[in-house]
């Protein structure tokens, strides 16, 4: 996927969970800092983060950040749905 494809894809950013207690995290991901920050913010609001489906790249890194943040005593919870597949993030250089 090109950057333009990712920006056009609704899974580029975490899905909003404004009026819900459970925030679903899934998809190809995009900007890592956005996903990680959103995960931390939702945990601080006491929401449950549900990782499901294909969780790739930034989604996977947000999961790792959420687990680490949750272990520090945040009011939220982290859950993983059955059948969830995590894909390791493999960074690459844009320029050499």
Domain coordinates in residue numbering, the chain: 3-87
CB neighbourhood size of 33 (10 A): 12
Sign of CA dihedral 34, 88, 16, 44: negative
Res. 46: pLDDT tops 90? yes
Res. 18: pLDDT tops 90? no
Amino acid 75: pLDDT: 87
64 vs 12, more confident: 64
The mean pLDDT of the chain is 84
- Whole-model pTM: value is 0.79
Give 16's contacts (C-beta < 8 A, 6+ positions apart): none
User: Cα–Cα distances in Å, from 58 out to 31, 36, 90?
Assistant: 6, 8, 10
């Amino acid at each position: 996927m090109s950057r333009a494809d990712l920006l056009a894809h609704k899974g580029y950013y975490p899905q909003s969970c404004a009026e819900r207690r459970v925030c679903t995290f899934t998809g190809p991901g995009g900007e890592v800092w956005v996903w990680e920050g959103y995960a931390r913010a939702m945990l601080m609001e006491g929401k449950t983060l549900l990782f499901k489906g294909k969780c790739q790249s930034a989604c996977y890194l947000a999961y790792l950040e959420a687990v680490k943040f949750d272990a520090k005593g945040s009011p939220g919870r982290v859950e993983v749905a059955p059948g969830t597949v995590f894909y390791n993030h493999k960074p690459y250089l844009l320029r050499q």
